[in-house]
Amino acid sequence: MFGRKKKGITNRPVAAELQEKSAGKIAIRWYNTHGEQFFTKLIMIQYQNTAVILDGSANLTLRNLGDFKLEADMEITGPKDSTIAREVAAYIRRMWNNEGGSYTVAFEQYYYRSFLEKPVYRFQGWSGMGNF
C-alpha cells in the first residue's frame, strides 16, 4: 500500500460530501505530500469549555471506529484551556496555517469529480470491500 499512487477514494468523495452537506461550513485542507502518505489520525472537537481529543491507529471511518476492525485509540476529554488541549490546538493551527513550513494545501488543489468515483466509494462502503 505505501509508495503506490492512490486515487483518493475514500478521502476525496468524503471531503466533497462534507463540503456540500455543510454548505461550506466545514473547511478542509489536504496535507501537502510529495509522494509519501500523511498518516496522522487526530481529531480535536472543542466545545464551549471542553475539548475532546481522539488519536490512535484507527482510520476515521465507520468500519474502523465502529468495532469492525481492531485498532488502538485513545480519547482525552478535559478543559479547553488544559495544557494538552492548548498543545493539540497549536499543532493543528500550525499545520493548517503552514506556520514554519509548507504542510497543507487548499481543498481545491486535490478536489476533482470523477464519474465513477462516487459510485465506487458507495459500493465499497456498502459491501465492506473498502478499508472504511
pLDDT category at 4 given cuts 50, 70, 90 is: low
Q: What percent of the chain has pLDDT over 90?
A: 33
pLDDT at 132: 59
104 vs 34: CA distance, rounded Å: 11
Q: What percent of the chain has pLDDT over 70?
A: 80
- When pLDDT is averaged across residues 72-83 and rounded to a whole number, the result is 93
pLDDT category at 104 given cuts 50, 70, 90 is: very high
Strand ranges, E, within the chain: 29-31, 42-46, 50-56, 73-79, 104-106
pLDDT at 98: 97
